[in-house]
Structure 1
Amino acid sequence: MAERVCIIGGGVIGLASAYALVRAGHEVTVIDARDSLGSETSFANGGQLSYRYVAPLADAGVPLQALGWLLRGDSPLTLRPRLDPRQWRWMASFLGACRGSVNKRNAAHLLRLASLSQATLQQWREDDRLDGFDWRRNGKLVTFRSAGTFELARSKVTDFLQQQVLSAAECACLEPALVGDGFVGGIYTPNEEVADCHAFCQRLAARLEASGRCSFLLGRKVTGLRHGEGAVQAIDLGDEMMPVDQLVIAAGHRSAELALPGVALALYPLKGYSLSVPIGAQHQAPNVSITDYDRKIVYARIGEQLRVAAMVDIVGFDARLEPKRLALIKRQALETFPHGGDYAQAVEWAGMRPATPTGVPLIGASAYRNLWLNLGHGALGFTLACGSGQLLAELIGQQAPSIDMQGLAPRAA
């Protein structure tokens, strides 16, 4: 049965949800506080569609490692404690998830969702001829500077058809642009992909508008939800009230502002940064996506630009650019890819990645019979968006989900 669905959030998660719902025959309205779609966390993220590297940040040994990072001037992590109970509750839950057994279980949930997401995007590309967002299957090389971390990563490779363990010389042979020294080896996954997330959002929006089944309300901030008798009855848009039949919250880290009694939204923004570096004919940018594991920096060639993304800053809700953090990223990128692009013309960006303490998103039904959640994807929003949208459409349409929902379904407050 076709439903009328309202989605709060016009980033990649909200738009992928809308696209999956429209494909299934539903009517959709997308509401976003910004005047343009995909203009916040989806705008200039890392661009890597990294379907097999989805392990959560929370893991055994991470708290001790994080303490070491905080003492370094070039740390990939910044923690700025604030007088905010949300930050302390999130941190306490994060520390509780920093166990090897918990990480392994949550990684399995994410891998299951990532596999569905890759298959869903492929289906959309093939069946709907969805294109125009610089998609490529270019492979991903994770490089290591520490022999210890390389040995640990190598010991975890079990499928040698999907992943290849390479020496430092073999890494340089695979990607000649990788001239930065200090690497001891790498792990290459040929089937990983790359694309422009913002362009993907624009293509989805164009297809949705052309479908005749989707409308957009932009520049409209949802200020509250009205509920009663176990359901959401309407949303407040400033001085206007809008009735809803089915409602999806996919508003990134701002989703927590819309929490209702009985709905647990343990979200906190992990601030990240990127540089979009123009590539000219004289430059030597990598064709393979690169993750510098020890520095926690990712590199992806997206069309005619090199996207360099890094950092996890737990600093509250301030999305302003931090010149020192961006300068560090640029310096390290120049060391690794000195001829990768015109760094002097790089476009700087910061985004707030909405993360749960476990790193696993919340997808599905809430305590209210017509309220659905699709949020908390952290740094994996683009990677997991299509699969998350597909699952949500199946659940709203009362169909059996494509994958086991264990670990993904929202928990009661």
Structure 2
Amino acid sequence: MGAGIVGLATAWQLQRDGFDVTVIDAHRPGQGASFGNGAQLSYAYVQPLADPSIWAQLPKLLLSRESPFSLRLRLDPAQWAWGLRFLAACRAEVSARSTGTLLALAEESREVLQQLLADTQAHCDFTTSGKLVMYGSEASFAAARHQLDLQRALGGAEQHALSLADCLRVEPALAGSAARYVGGIHTPGECAADCARLCDALHGALQARGVRFVLGAPLGALRREGDRLVAVQAGNDWIEADGFVAALGTGVTAFARRLGVSLPVYPLKGYSLTLDAPVGSGLAPNVSVTDAQRKLVFARLGQRLRVAGLAELAGHDTRIETRRVEQLRRAAREVFPLACAGTETRPWAGLRPATPTGVPIVGRVGGAPANVLFNAGHGALGFTLAAGSARRLSRQLQGVAERPRTAAALIRSAARPAENSA
């Protein structure tokens, strides 16, 4: 259930492992948060949003019009509960555990995605040009070096703290905004790709291999027998199965409630623009760049440049606010002034399904039917973690299962060691 990148990667893994698979979605594949995301595959730099540094930044994050974060309070108990759990997770020990869990899952995802790309021969502007995370103050750069040391101790990939001069040698297109930065973290092995194009390619490849797609059909009634879900209604069809995987993005919480389970997943709305990249050396970046202060990413996709970021805690509202789009445009002009004269595609906004700790829910959850597994809550790392989550979920269905965790345990615990993070 769900045909975003998480659901499609899961369908690919399950079909590859010998399961007969049906994919259900109310829309076409890749039309949700997968469509216009930041395009970065951040295998080595997975610092969760819930971090102790949030406390010092909180006044500016909430009050500045140029803040990368906005909160629109609603009469929604789920919003308030998620926010309180997020703040409770902004502790050093929780962030460290989450980082370790996410690094392990990300490294597994790197391996599985390589297999997926080789298997499907998908054309999705995949590149391994590396990534620079740029910092605008000595304090933030020092905190980033501390995070680098933590990730190195946890077995993270090759990373280097670079001076501003070295950053400009790695990515000359930053020359026009060099005065804004003091240094950066360079990860040579990071990747980028067009997630929407990969979803299209997976859809075609899976159909050719006999995977059934039931699209344009929202989930209707559920049929249960004892401790098992036996069928779900999709449009006018009833889909029976031995097992069900809920990869429904931000819709997973409503589905879980119908099963009597509460999941700590809430939408974080993000925005993106896609520009035609100008031809010429040093005009548009070839390396993926993250502006840490603005919390914006810039990813090269063939002859296009994806600009993405921001986070709004505003419920399930997908409206595109002009003020936020202009904020992206200004940032793009400031960071890469020579790259922003090209044609721009329609602005996009999507909802990232996030847990308070940033650790996704992968597998069985106590209280839900025994044959229902969840693959949700990946936040801004959905593209990065999709392939590894798919493998872990398939292992559970094959019997390499772990003890089910209750929703309460998921809230209390940021993470466990790699194979116990579901």
Q: 1:172 aligns with which of 159, 168, 174?
A: 168
Which residue matches 1:3? none
Deviations along 1:120-177, one digit per CA (max 9) or x if unpaired, are: 1112334x25331111111000111011010121233334981111111111111111
Q: Deviations over 1:261-297 (max 9, x none)?
A: 4533111100000000012325821000000111111
The yes-or-no answer on 1:231 pairing with 2:228 is yes
Q: Deviations over 1:1-47 (max 9, x none)?
A: xxxxxxx101000000000001111110000001x210111001000
CA offset digits 1:345-400 (Å, max 9, x no partner): 34310010000111110001233221010001000000001101111111112237
Alignment partner of 1:269: what SS?
Answer: strand
Q: Residue type matched to 1:149 in 2?
A: S
Residue matched to 1:245: 242
Partner of 1:45: 37
- Does 2:375 align with 1:374? yes
Partner residue of 2:293? 294
Q: Which residue of 1 aligns with 2:83?
A: 91
Distance 1:270 1:343, change over 3 A: farther
Cα distance in structure 2, aligned partners of 1:162 and 1:248: 34
Tell me if the contact between 2:122 and 2:202 (Cα under 8 Å) persists in the aligned partners.
Answer: no
CA contact (8 A) 1:306 1:341 kept: no
Using a 3 Å threshold, how does the CA distance of structure 1 residues 31 and 162 change in structure 2: closer, same or farther? Answer: same
Residue 72 (structure 1) shift: 1.1
Q: Spell out, residue by residue over 1:298-321, the C-alpha distance to the aligned partner (whole angstroms, 9 max, x if none).
A: 000011110000101001111011
1:261-410 correspondence to structure 2 within 5 Å: 261-281=259-279, 284-343=283-342, 345-366=344-365, 367-399=368-400, 404-406=418-420, 408-409=421-422
> Measured at CA, do residues 210 and 405 of structure 1 come closer, stay the same or move farther in structure 2, by a change above 3 Å?
same
- Aligned-residue offset at 1:61: 3.5
- Counterpart of 1:40 in 2: which secondary structure? coil
Aligned AA for 1:174?
V
* Equivalent position SS for 2:298: strand
Moved more, 367-376 or 154-163: 154-163
Change (3 A) 1:289 1:62: same
Q: State how far apart, in whole Å, the 2-side matches of 1:63 and 1:325 are.
A: 24
Q: Output the amino acid matched with 1:273.
A: Y
Name the counterpart of 1:133. 124
Counterpart residue type for residue 253 of structure 2: A
After the TM superposition, which of the residue ranges 114-123 and 54-63 deviates more from structure 2?
54-63
Q: d(CA) in 2 for partners of 1:84 and 1:134? A: 40
Letter in 2 for 1:144: Y
Judged with a 3 Å threshold, the aligned counterparts in structure 2 of structure 1 residues 154 and 64 are, in CA distance, closer, same or farther, namely closer
Residues 276 and 343, structure 2, Cα contact 8 Å, conserved in 1: no
| Alignment partners' CA distance in 2, 1:247 and 1:161 | 34
For 1:165 and 1:10, the matched residues in 2 are separated by 38
CA deviation after TM superposition for structure 1 residue 249, in Å:
0.4
CA distance in 1, matches of 2:158, 2:418: 23
Counterpart position of 1:67: 59
Report the Cα offset of residue 197 of structure 1: 0.3
Partners of 1:155 and 1:252 in 2: CA distance: 32
Alpha-carbon distance between aligned partners in 1 of 2:141 and 2:56, rounded to the nearest angstrom? 19
What amino acid does structure 2 have at the position aligned with 1:24? D
Aligned to 1:29: 22
Q: Give the superposition deviation at 1:248.
A: 0.6
Instruction: Give 1:241 deviation, angstroms.
Output: 3.3
Which shows bigger deviation, 307-316 or 57-66?
57-66
Q: CA 1:100–1:257 in 2, change beyond 3 Å: closer, same or farther? A: same
176-185 vs 240-249, which moves further: 240-249
Shift of 1:239: 5.1
Distance (whole Å) between structure 2 residues aligned to residue 318 and residue 19 of structure 1: 30
Tell me the equivalent position of 2:11: 18
The answer for the alignment partner of 1:258 in structure 2 is 255
**Counterparts of 1:359 and 1:305 in 2: how far apart (Å)?**
29
Q: Distance in 1 between matches of 2:215 and 2:234?
A: 11
The DSSP-based 3-state class of the residue aligned with 1:347 is coil
2:325–2:347 CA contact under 8 A, matched in 1 = yes
TM-score normalized by the length of structure 1: 0.92
Give the aligned partner of residue 133 of structure 2: 142
CA contact (8 A) 2:4 2:34 kept: yes
C-alpha deviation, 1:194, in angstroms? 0.5
Shift of the 9–59 alpha-carbon distance from structure 1 to 2, 3 Å rule, reads same
Task: Tell me how far apart the structure 1 counterparts of residues 127 and 194 of structure 2 sit (CA, whole Å).
Answer: 10
Partner of 2:72: 80
Letter in 1 for 2:163: S
| Percent of aligned pairs sharing the same letter | 44
Q: Which blocks of at least 5 consecutive residues in structure 2 are unaligned?
A: 403-416
Q: What's the TM-score once normalised by structure 2's chain length?
A: 0.90
> Residues 191-219 of structure 1, C-alpha deviation per residue, up to 9 Å, x if partnerless?
0000010011111111111112x010010
Where do 5+ consecutive residues of structure 1 fail to align? 1-7
Where is the helix percentage greater, Structure 1 or Structure 2?
2
- What is the RMSD of the two structures over their aligned residues, measured on CA atoms? 1.8
- For residue 217 of structure 2, give the secondary structure of its aligned residue in structure 1: coil
Q: How does 1:83-122 map to 2 (within 5 A)?
A: 83-122=75-114
What is residue 4 of structure 1 aligned with on the other side?
none
Equivalent residue letter for 1:85? P
Check conservation: 1:330, 1:343, Cα contact below 8 A: no
The SS at the match of 2:101 is helix
